[in-house]
Chains A and B, each alone.
Chain A
């Protein structure tokens, strides 16, 4: 079943077309890889979908309804979470506080109550709510086996842990769809190996994953579906085996062979 679909999605930056008429489909329950050479528009596509940036034209559908142009916070509440290419943790806060931020709308919001009543309740019963948020956040840290760092400041954590913490923060919102922007960037082979287990764990929660990645071994190993972008345009999509054999993809990565 299709969970997310973009139709003719285009983003221009003052004459430069970063994403050009892209139809991107994410099927529920699968791990989808988004690959392409540098500057192919992968992160721009992520930013359009997650509301960090607005598309110039085209539309985005999530779980059957249109979300084009929604602000980021709304999209996140609909069930799309993300991490960032250059890790955006709350650096001056502790690891557990970071995950608590991810739980912002998970604990203490009741859609059947007026927003003002909700806020008042969150305020009056803050200690009780905090305990709940804290224990949930600790559960997420335990899930990734980083609970021993709960009271460390995010900026003092090792790089790999920071990546995991960012994923934990995103997952805390219990999204249906998780976008990972180059999760393995800057990791050594053993950290990358570990990341594969992490992605498997996420998949086991029933969360659909989309990841941008340059590490081909990782992509070919863990992705069920791959979409390839080049110069802002989609040049191929299919299973890893199909992509490996795709002429357009080989050309994009290795250049055209002289005839």
Chain B
């Protein structure tokens, strides 16, 4: 059981990273993209190719994955980001599948026995989960801080303006296309890095695993936590992974059907939209010039407010 709990911590770290990227795209800028599995796939392949085929260090694959996913994000973004919400959603869904198909055509069987990650002579072995937990969560923290700062900067504000009203944003001198692309590229890059860590842990890559299902799971993570809220998204990742591994954790794999978790994810999307579209934690209420005291902030974070509160 401890084993599965550790597994949950590892995968929630990987998904938290992906969700940070998705949150940048969907939460900050309001673009419903469904191809995060594709960026994840690119990152995984980058690590596999760099550490196995080329025999280079895992650490090199992190920037390579970020740049590769970012470039693909850019290539996808430039033409598609001018599409409206629903169309963007379908187009990115298609692109995610195209990335997976291309990966399958490059290497249909995937990669096995990828070399382990080493850091200052220490080797991260899959059985030593604690080391992985620390490794992955250090990076989650780094990305969290980086993106939190982004959200609270001029760039992040421009993205928020676009989410709220594109026409008004343009009339405020915000280059809508530019910021949409920035947001998409950054989100894609983090998705790619998440893929590296996935590979570093499992040491195998199978193209068949980067399905639409993964994209929906990431989206679900963001929606559950709260779109646009960095902390919430990490909480969401933890809950989603807990649900995913619940059968293993409780030893009920024979009782609970494999589809149960997907059905729950579907339900989460529907129920959250109806009941609490701002997510479990909601959005940060006052970003600038907060007049509340620290304790008020804490209590406001958990208080449910539909009317009058941030959505």
Interface residues of A (CB under 8 A from B): 50-52, 71-73, 76-77, 81-82, 84, 88-94, 96-97, 100-102, 104-105, 107-108, 119, 122-123, 126-127, 129-130, 133-134, 137-138, 150-151, 153, 156, 169-170, 173
Closest chain B residue, CB of each to CB of A122: B154
Query: Are A90 and B164 within 8 A (Cβ)?
Result: yes
Query: Are B286 and A102 within 8 A (Cβ)?
Result: no
B310 within 8 A of A: yes
Q: Given A84-B167, A84-B171, A108-B154, 15 more contacts at CB 8 Å?
A: A52-B171, A73-B169, A76-B171, A81-B171, A84-B168, A93-B164, A94-B288, A97-B287, A97-B288, A104-B154, A104-B173, A104-B174, A122-B154, A123-B149, A123-B150
Query: Are B173 and A156 within 8 A (Cβ)?
Result: no
Most buried by A among B172, B176, B289, B290: B172
Interface residues of B (CB under 8 A from A): 149-150, 152-155, 157-158, 160-161, 164-165, 167-176, 283, 286-291, 308, 310-311
B273 to chain A, nearest CB (A): 16
Query: Are A156 and B153 within 8 A (Cβ)?
Result: no
Candidates B150, B154, B170; contact of A72 at CB < 8 Å? B170
11 residue pairs of the A-B complex, CB under 8 angstroms, read: A89-B165, A90-B160, A90-B165, A94-B287, A94-B288, A96-B288, A97-B157, A100-B157, A126-B154, A130-B153, A134-B288
A126-B170 contact, Cβ under 8 Å, with A90-B160, A94-B286, A97-B288: no
Residues on the A chain within 8 Å of B160, using CB: 90, 93, 97, 101
Query: Are A92 and B310 within 8 A (Cβ)?
Result: yes
B200 to chain A, nearest CB (A): 28
Closest chain B residue, CB of each to CB of A127: B152
Residues on the A chain within 8 Å of B172, using CB: 73, 76, 101-102, 104, 169, 173
Tell me, in angstroms, the Cα distance from A50 to B150 when the chains sit together: 29
Most buried by A among B168, B169, B283: B168
Query: Are B158 and A104 within 8 A (Cβ)?
Result: yes
Tell me, in angstroms, the Cα distance from A133 to B288 when the chains sit together: 10
Tell me, in angstroms, the Cα distance from A156 to B307 when the chains sit together: 10
A122-B153 contact, Cβ under 8 Å, with A101-B169, A134-B288: yes
Query: Are B168 and A73 within 8 A (Cβ)?
Result: no
Query: Are B165 and A88 within 8 A (Cβ)?
Result: yes
Residues on the A chain within 8 Å of B155, using CB: 119, 122-123
Tell me, in angstroms, the Cα distance from A167 to B27 when the chains sit together: 27
Residues on the A chain within 8 Å of B164, using CB: 90-93
Candidates A50, A94, A100, A133; contact of B171 at CB < 8 Å? A50
A144 to chain B, nearest CB (A): 17
Tell me, in angstroms, the Cα distance from A123 to B164 when the chains sit together: 21
Candidates B150, B152, B170, B290; contact of A76 at CB < 8 Å? B170
A100-B288 contact, Cβ under 8 Å, with A81-B171, A90-B165, A92-B311: yes
Most buried by B among A82, A101, A122, A169: A101
Q: Which 10 A-B pairs have the closest CB atoms?
A: A126-B153, A90-B164, A72-B170, A76-B173, A88-B168, A122-B154, A105-B173, A101-B161, A77-B173, A73-B170
Tell me, in angstroms, the Cα distance from A93 to B155 when the chains sit together: 16
B108 to chain A, nearest CB (A): 40
Query: Are A73 and B286 within 8 A (Cβ)?
Result: no
A69 to chain B, nearest CB (A): 14
Query: Are B173 and A126 within 8 A (Cβ)?
Result: no
Query: Are B153 and A104 within 8 A (Cβ)?
Result: no
Candidates B158, B165, B289, B308; contact of A134 at CB < 8 Å? B289
Tell me, in angstroms, the Cα distance from A133 to B176 when the chains sit together: 20
A73-B174 contact, Cβ under 8 Å, with A90-B164, A93-B160, A153-B308: yes
B144 to chain A, nearest CB (A): 15
A209 to chain B, nearest CB (A): 16
Tell me, in angstroms, the Cα distance from A84 to B172 when the chains sit together: 12
Candidates B150, B170, B288; contact of A71 at CB < 8 Å? B170
Residues on the B chain within 8 Å of A82, using CB: 171
Tell me, in angstroms, the Cα distance from A102 to B157 when the chains sit together: 11
Residues on the A chain within 8 Å of B161, using CB: 90, 101, 104
Residues on the B chain within 8 Å of A134, using CB: 288-289
Most buried by B among A51, A73, A94: A73
Query: Are A130 and B288 within 8 A (Cβ)?
Result: yes
Query: Are A151 and B308 within 8 A (Cβ)?
Result: no
B307 to chain A, nearest CB (A): 9
